[in-house]
Amino acid sequence: MFADKLGELLQENLLRFVRDREAPPGRAADLSRIFIDGNELINFASNDYLGLAGHSTLTRAAREAMETFGFGSGASRLLAGGTSLHGELERAVASFKGTESALVFNSGYAANTGALPSLAEEGDTLFSDELNHASIIDGCRLSRAKTVIYRHRDPDHLAELLEREGGRRNVVVTDTVFSMDGDIAPLGDIYTVCARYNARAGASSVLLYIDDAHGTGVLGDGKGALSHFGIGPEPWILQMGTFSKALGSFGAFIAAERDTVQWLLNTARGFIYSTALPAAVIAASMAALQTVREEPLRVKKLWENRARLHEGLQAEEFDTLQSETPILPIVMETSGEALRFAEQLGKHRIYAPAIRPPTVAQPRIRLTVTAAHTFEDIDALLGALASIRKGRRV
């Protein structure tokens, strides 16, 4: 039925395949390495920014929770599928993010597609950055509110649109770190726009919803984007974050004031109709938060590695767009070129797959450096990139 369409994708260099990684032979998991078809490659495609996915503290906590609570949870949280660990994690997240309360979701996608339709109804308006993540786009589509797109990282355009298109209630939603470009939203300026509008029109006229999936554990000494910009939590700010990236576990959360969290608990379909995350996953997330607090040098090492890679890419004059984070794209002209470049990297024992439309408008190799990489790993990547470029027809 879909053979012709699959053929079209193949012709356009847009056909995708799953490449599952194998278990590391005889040693603990380390996502700075990836094993595919029996070969070990240095992995520059992981979002495990702090190198926690294989950390013994997380795996031990997960094992102990599984032995205590079993693995499957059996039901949604509202049907007692949760455990005492779930509430404990939510209190820990609220403390970590400086909010009154928090609610755990099964994924960042479930959080965004569940929360945004609950926050903005018919008669309301959602204001979304044009490069926001697909889960935000889908959350806006599921809402009955009007959606208005503002230019990427342009608070002046946002302010203009708020004045012209504002509804009964308005929700400004932005990624903090844009996952394909590696740039950071100008959150200080966006905060100012929202605060000014609220001061004039009423404290609840604008909600600011930030997707801090790639900021949590990375920005602000690990606490996230608000800390990075020196912004204190406000009753009208909601922070979505994930456990599945820098925190090395799985799932997501929204941290906000108590009434907002209670509203989401009662209305967010992604929470209500999902089986609760297993206790083992929750325990691993708890251990990850504790580790970030107790091992601040992990964040420091992440940014040292980012600086080394960025400097090397700049020296080789690779186009990394406006990246400010451990996400460093190398832009290509065509999808075919990106695929060939990724294949050549593989021959140099480097894993960094091509990212192509519709995920991004411009094909690219998306590099992510982590705290688990060594300087030798980074230098190997830079050497491979230089070698491939010299061997290409320019």
> What pLDDT is attached to residue 23?
81
- CATH code assigned at 150: 3.40.640.10
For residues 306-317, average pLDDT? 96
> What pLDDT is attached to residue 279?
98
For residue range 175-193, list pLDDT tens digits in order.
999 999 999 999 999 999 9
Instruction: Answer whether 3's CB lies under 8 Å from 27's CB.
Output: no
Q: What are the CB-based long-range contacts (under 8 Å, 24+) for 354-362? A: 355/180, 355/329, 356/13, 356/14, 357/14, 359/180, 360/180, 362/331, 362/332
Q: How confident is the model at residue 394 (pLDDT cuts 50, 70, 90)?
A: very low
> What pLDDT is attached to residue 26?
66
Q: Determine, yes or no, domain membership for 11.
A: no
Q: Determine, yes or no, domain membership for 3.
A: no
179 as an active site residue: the answer is yes
Q: Which of 97, 228, 245, 301 is catalytic?
A: 245
For residues 97-110, average pLDDT? 98
> What pLDDT is attached to residue 220?
97
Domain identity same for 261 and 172: yes
Domain identity same for 272 and 356: no
Domain identity same for 187 and 66: yes
Q: Determine, yes or no, domain membership for 7.
A: no
Domain identity same for 273 and 317: no
Domain identity same for 244 and 287: yes
Q: How confident is the model at residue 223 (pLDDT cuts 50, 70, 90)?
A: very high
Number of domains in the chain: 2
Domain identity same for 289 and 310: no
For residues 230-234, average pLDDT? 95
Domain identity same for 64 and 179: yes
Q: Which residues contact 4 (CB under 8 A, 6 or more apart)?
A: none
Q: Determine, yes or no, domain membership for 12.
A: no
Of 196, 194, 363, 38, nearest in space to 185 by CA:
194
Higher pLDDT: 375 or 6? It is 375
For residue range 113-135, list pLDDT tens digits in order.
999 999 999 999 999 999 999 99
H/E run at residue 194: helix 187-201
> What pLDDT is attached to residue 389?
85
204 as an active site residue: the answer is no
92 vs 90: CA distance, rounded Å: 5
For residue range 256-270, list pLDDT tens digits in order.
999 999 999 999 999
> Which residues face 254 on adjacent strands?
103, 240
> What pLDDT is attached to residue 25?
76
For residue range 63-103, list pLDDT tens digits in order.
999 999 999 999 999 999 999 999 999 999 999 999 999 99
Higher pLDDT: 181 or 31? It is 181
Domain identity same for 255 and 328: no
Q: Which of 107, 179, 227, 244 is catalytic?
A: 179
Q: How confident is the model at residue 202 (pLDDT cuts 50, 70, 90)?
A: low
246 vs 292: CA distance, rounded Å: 9
Q: Determine, yes or no, domain membership for 158.
A: yes
For residues 14-39, average pLDDT? 84
Exposed, middle or buried by CB within 10 Å (0-12, 13-18, 19+), for 219?
buried
Q: Determine, yes or no, domain membership for 9.
A: no
Q: Given CA atoms 149, 150, 153, 158 in this order, what sign does their dihedral have?
A: negative
> What pLDDT is attached to residue 204?
66
Domain's final residue, options 268, 294, 320: 294
Q: Given CA atoms 305, 311, 317, 320 in this order, what sign does their dihedral have?
A: positive
> Which residues face 146 on adjacent strands?
125
Query: The tokens 């356009």 sit on which residue?
Result: 12
214 as an active site residue: the answer is yes
Q: Which residues contact 364 (CB under 8 A, 6 or more apart)?
A: 180, 329, 330, 331, 332, 338, 354, 355
> What pLDDT is attached to residue 98?
97
Q: Is 138 helix (H, G, I), strand (E, B) or coil?
A: helix
Q: Which of 214, 228, 301, 310 is catalytic?
A: 214
Domain identity same for 280 and 355: no
> What pLDDT is attached to residue 393?
38
Domain identity same for 31 and 118: no
Residue 354 has pLDDT above 60, yes or no: yes
Mean pLDDT of the chain: 95
Higher pLDDT: 341 or 20? It is 341
Domain identity same for 280 and 304: no
Cβ neighbours around 189 below 10 Å, total: 16
Across 13-22, 139-148, 165-174, least confident range: 13-22
367 vs 326: CA distance, rounded Å: 8
For residues 204-226, average pLDDT? 96
> What pLDDT is attached to residue 374?
97
Query: The tokens 């013994």 sit on which residue?
Result: 56
Enclosing domain of residue 352? 18-47+296-391
> What pLDDT is attached to residue 391?
75
Domain's final residue, options 240, 263, 294: 294
> What pLDDT is attached to residue 102?
98
- CATH code assigned at 317: 3.90.1150.10
Q: Is 357 helix (H, G, I), strand (E, B) or coil?
A: coil
Residue 170 has pLDDT above 70, yes or no: yes
Q: What's the half-sphere exposure (Cβ side, CA atoms, 13 Å) at 73?
A: 23
Q: Is 117 helix (H, G, I), strand (E, B) or coil?
A: helix
